[in-house]
Homo-oligomer: A and B are copies of this chain.
């Protein structure tokens, strides 16, 4: 084969991969949003078969040879080479698994998701427990096939954030604990902010009408984006011009759907903004979870919880809820949105206690795969750790171990990226605020100015560069966790009128 023939073969392979990926993405969204549940078994068995076909394509030995041969060939275009390198790495992780085992794991994940949903709806952990055990055992087995020095859990962590290990995460979380635990204690002991106005009755139809306006403000365009509803909000996409988000409306909590929407639109905007040359390639689909979460958390917290953001949007919200919010000032509302209080639900947690929710999950995952935490009674382990780390009593499993979807399909190693992403975004935001007047953009309805900055500096590249490279390119320095901690310390010290550490030292 000539080089051109090989490149054509590679293009054809990419196209075939992307066809199955598109199908699986659409079937996946459909399952989680609207598909009638009684049809699950029929659809899932066939979905698993199609995933197996994709698996065969991905692990085609002939293509792996071709990737190996070309991935470091300097005569090949650098973008193409980067894609080939990533595909090759991926294949090295999966080719040790047999197709039969892979398909069985996919089927299990689908059944396990259904069991999780049922268990959560009925608040009955026993419905989900046997599936969770099987999923854990399956992941132990499949990750065990890989070669190399990494421990089981390090392999999982690396899948979601290339290069991250327990050692690095331990350092990261220790830094957080060291400065945030005392801060959380101070905040908890300070004069509390009354945010009960956020938890009145908010008609869901009216919430949806406000959301339509908010989505427009966020530049989430219906030509390339669509928002639906699910039990657990998520974002999914088939290409840059097809990005779907979901949210969940709560009748007695006006902030939940809003903040989850802003979060998911952060993910969707990232994917939409990746250079369209990368459509259907790993350079758009393979962005690390930490980088992805950095953008969703940036949208949610560093933009969506600011006063400038609400200077524009609060009058709109008041228009829909005059009885509930007519007497609440902008300043009061923004304070309420930022209240910190140890709580049960990760997705509704404030920024300050959020990393503690992640730490709990990280510790549990680590223990599960390092053998120090048994699978038996994991719901009770959960409760103990919430008491220990956050001081809260978990009243039931629905608001405990069943709250998150991630473990149902075996996504262990994902959670830590939420905290890491939050930390990335502190550093990105600091740089963005140097370059443009973020607050002015937010308050004047020019959210697009933030999107443009993010597209230019981060989004367009997809995973053409890894997180370290992007951080250096954007900020001119490596990742530094202190941006995150300083931000939280500054924010909550002011919000709760605490004496800053520095002042104490004077």
Partner-B contacts on A (CB < 8 A):
15-16, 18-20, 22-23, 26-27, 29-30, 34-39, 42-43, 46-47, 49-50, 205, 222-226, 228, 238-239, 241-244, 279-280
Contacts and interface: CB of A to CB of B under 8 A. Distances in A.
Contact of A224 (B16, B30, B39, B243): B39
Count the copies: 2
Given A16-B49, A29-B30, A37-B223, A238 B22 contact: no
A222 B37 CA distance: 8
A50 B16 CA distance: 9
Contacts of A26: 23, 26-27, 30, 35, 43
A43 B22 contact: yes
A346 to B, nearest CB: 28
A46 B23 contact: yes
A279 B239 CA distance: 32
**7 closest Cβ pairs, A-B complex:** A39-B242, A38-B241, A19-B46, A42-B239, A39-B241, A38-B223, A19-B49
A41 to B, nearest CB: 8
16 contacts: A18-B46, A19-B47, A19-B49, A19-B50, A22-B43, A22-B46, A22-B47, A23-B27, A23-B50, A26-B30, A26-B43, A38-B242, A39-B224, A42-B241, A42-B279, A43-B242
Contact of A49 (B15, B34, B36): B15
Contact of A242 (B22, B35, B47, B50): B35
A327 B192 CA distance: 56
A228 B226 CA distance: 14
A36 B221 CA distance: 9
A471 to B, nearest CB: 30
Contacts of A30: 26, 29-30
Residue from A39, A238, A243, A244 whose CB has the most chain B CB atoms within 10 Å: A39
A506 to B, nearest CB: 56
Given A19-B50, A29-B30, A239-B43, A36 B225 contact: yes
Contacts of A226: 34-36
A238 B43 contact: yes
A235 to B, nearest CB: 13
